[in-house]
Structure 1
């Protein structure tokens, strides 16, 4: 039975590492190369593109809306495909599509080419990114699911910490450097190499190598008390139809959507907001880097906390903190408020990020996880569809972002409450 991968250490002994932890490392890297350049760095691309083409904030914000249209259309399809074909295949196809998108992005000459390139990149990200790697980890972990997903999210955070200042430095329109076109070409090379290498490492589920989730064989009860404990800890394995009939499915889906609206708007408009206040692009990158640094810590802590207390309660707490952070962006133009935003937003966003996925695994099981996760992204993506253009439109019409961010902070709190009331389903005759 190949349950562990043995690796050497410098002291001459060997220690065994559960192969699932290698899946965590691979997942973290995939999250980094698929999420950071497209979503976290979108505010930086926007500044460079505004300087180069003179496009409005509304036009730039629409690009991220097109990614949400893609998510709404292909999320359920990707969920079905990852359950049917496996994460390994999805990573290869998704990264290949993402490579094509980066190549096209580097050749953009007008607005429709920009929209098309961003749409193709988002399709690739949707196939290889969050949904696929979270399904992979949901197969590999049960007891440590929250921690595993949190550690994978740290990969995205570390990527933001390293890549955000680098991208800002490379594409700064006020400096004579390689520029945004050549930077996009570099990412195309990275994703192409990853598409060829990573699928050779990935195993879709522990059963493929005669292993078990968490590396532990199922407990066989030999007494009534142990049988009761096993039954209490046993996961539900809901079908997509059963999941859709639960209140928890809809509370989590819309809670995730309302909580994520503000994230998408911030990612696309924070650099532009700071530009309005005469802060440079590098200053914006440092604020984003601080937020990312804090979120790295709390992506791990959030997953760990979610394995200790009810995940819906943890999600309520972290989503509330995220909303409070957004309020600091409209208190005043001083840089201290941006630092306060970065810390609070990092705590809230980082803490809730792994839990929004882990709670679905706890509530609905492994068998149909990809389909359930894919369907649940539809209401989320519909809400995300309006986030970036709404913020851009309000700024263009009113001259500032105050009303847009206050509105988003309020919707964020609606999401926090929905998480709180999402209770774990019980398998009854109604399901």
Structure 2
């Protein structure tokens, strides 16, 4: 990954700049995951106690935020390809921080929903699609590895949950929200300057390949321009991707996984307290075990996917999610919850980074952000309904178990969707189609 001459000292300039982008993506995901997604469940008790809202009312905020993110996806993808990663990321960071400040001062349910939607909009613009679009452009053969390492930030963010619980008790939920906004500004804005949308305008090639290794020119085309033409030639347009069955299989399969993941993320502490009978503090440490296992899986899944089929890994992990959910329903003791944490953590960690990598591999990087945006509309159906189904299950049946049983069947169906998602073949194109796509894509390559 980082190549140094024998006996030489570390020199940051010797590291391919794409890896600095991976580092930035890692840290951005720590901010997004730790302060927003993972922390959501920790605020539950405090909001219930102060305002008397039930679980369905609070879960609706998460559902609305995921609906917003899904509808935003295609527009966000177009914005990233038109204006570049850095500008969209910076705008997202500012909105994300503003949402926390609004959250800290809200006094009723509608203000809660409004503040939460602002946070959601900011975290989306500064999150998944935006940062992975840059990684997809800066890497080719090493793309699964790069996306896997970047996604470790999401796993590391789970370690923050005990700290979030402590901070909520020490500062109160308003103080915790305010200082979270300050942290987002102080860390997110500087991190945004690490990002470059594409490597070629800066004299780099994907994966850090040297121009001289490809020859400075070939048939009159500079080495730093040839990857652009190559990416276009082997990339799907948005319209072509939407016509491919694999696009729908991957999107729906990903959505089935997120149905379970989002429900667990938002309700796990309450499940441990209400259904199992252990304290939320114990639940927070079990969740830390889950994220620790997930981090270990994320560190190696990219390397593994460069050697064996990504699809086979994903299918195995989907069955792992099913097994973990069944175990969670049966759990009545700490050891069983720990076993759930290990199986769910392994499944999530090995699968998660490959969700973006398989799309870039199947459809190419040229219009990746927009294709990912359209796909996210289906994925967010799962993400936004998971917490709502779990909250409604408890309100109706005084137990989360019915929801988790339903989700076990959904993730099993997701495994078969991924099994059906075979690599699509590029549709035939006329020379005029290719020329038009190259002209359209060259503008965004040169601009950012």
Identify whether the pair has TM-score above 0.5, normalized to the shorter chain: yes
Residue matched to 1:241: 239
Matches within 5 A, 1:362-381: 362-381=361-380
1:166 and 2:159 are equivalent in the alignment: no
How far is 1:7 from its partner?
9.5
1:207 corresponds to which residue?
Answer: 200
Residue of 98, 102, 105 corresponding to 2:103: 105
Aligned residue number for residue 320 of structure 2: 321
- Which string of whole-angstrom CA distances, capped at 9 and with x for unpartnered residues, describes residues 332-388 of structure 1? 321111111110000001111100000011011111000000000111112333221
**1:303-382 alignment to 2 at 5 Å?**
303-382=302-381
CA deviation vs aligned residue, 1:298-345 (integer Å, no higher than 9, x gap): 112222222211211111111211221121111032111111111000
1:53 shift after superposition: 2.1
Distance 1:349 1:13, change over 3 A: closer
SS at match of 1:137: helix
Q: SS of the residue aligned with 1:250? A: helix
Residues 95 and 119 of structure 2 are in contact (CA less than 8 Å); yes or no, is this contact kept in structure 1? Answer: yes
Summarize the Cα distance change of 1:61–1:9 in structure 2 as closer, same or farther, 3 Å threshold. Answer: farther
- Give, in whole Å, the separation in 1 of the partners of 2:429 and 2:294: 40
1:81 is matched with 79
Show CA shifts across 1:242-275 (max 9, x none).
Answer: 1001011001100000111001111111111112
The answer as to 2:55 corresponding to 1:57 is: yes
1:155 maps to which residue? 153
Work out whether residues 168 and 281 of structure 1, in 8 Å CA contact, stay in contact via their aligned partners in 2: no
Superposed CA deviations along residues 367-419 of structure 1, whole A, max 9, x for unmatched, are 10000000001111123332211111111111111111010111011112111
- Give the deviation of 1:183 after TM superposition: 1.1
CA contact (8 A) 2:326 2:408 kept: yes
Q: What corresponds to 2:394 in structure 1? A: 395
Question: Is the 1:295–1:351 Cα contact (8 Å) retained in structure 2?
Answer: yes
* Equivalent pair of 2:100/2:178 in contact (CA under 8 Å): yes
Q: Is the 8 A contact 2:137 2:206 kept in 1?
A: yes
Contact 2:266/2:387 (<8 A) preserved: yes
In the TM superposition, residue 13 of structure 1 has moved relative to its aligned partner by 6.5
Greater mean deviation of Cα atoms: 99-108 or 320-329: 320-329
**How far is the alpha carbon of 1:294 from its aligned partner?**
0.3
TM-score by length of 1: 0.91
CA distance in 2: counterparts of 1:168 and 1:239, whole angstroms: 45
Which piece of structure 1 moves more, 388-397 or 340-349?
388-397
**Structure 1 partner of 2:224:** none
| 2:191 corresponds to which of 187, 192, 198 | 198
Aligned partners of 1:259 and 1:413 also within 8 Å: no
What TM-score comes out, normalization by structure 2 length?
0.87
Cross-structure match for 1:225 = none
Give the match for residue 441 of structure 2: none
1:33-69 alpha-carbon deviations (Å, 9 max, x no partner): 0122211221111122222222111112111101111
Equivalent residue number for residue 264 of structure 1: 262
- Contact 2:313–2:351 (CA under 8 A) maintained in structure 1: yes
Distance change (3 Å), C-alpha of 1:209 and 1:343: same
Alignment partner, residue 433 of structure 2: none
Aligned-pair distance for 1:164? 1.1
Partner of 2:436: none
RMSD: 2.5
CA distance in 2, matches of 1:140, 1:171: 39
CA distance 1:160–1:76, change in 2 (3 Å): same
**What's the CA shift for 1:10?**
10
CA shift, 1:199, in A, is 2.8
Q: In the aligned structure 1, how far is the partner of 2:33 from the partner of 2:205?
A: 29
Do the aligned residues in 1 keep the contact of 2:28 with 2:188 (CA within 8 Å)? no
Once the two structures are TM-superposed, the CA of residue 14 in structure 1 deviates from its matched residue by: 4.4
CA 1:336–1:98: 2 relative to 1, 3 Å: same
The answer to whether the 8 A contact 1:319-1:413 is kept is yes
Q: 1:106 to 1:419 in 2, by over 3 A?
A: same
CA distance in 1, matches of 2:7, 2:272: 48
Moved more, 29-38 or 254-263: 29-38
Contact 2:146–2:302, Cα closer than 8 Å, also in 1: yes
Going from structure 1 to structure 2, the CA distance change for 1:320 and 1:430 (only over 3 Å counts) comes to: farther
Paired residue secondary structure (2:15): strand
Maintained 8 Å contact 1:151/1:300: yes
* 8 Å contact kept, 1:97–1:123: yes
Q: SS of the counterpart of 1:178?
A: helix
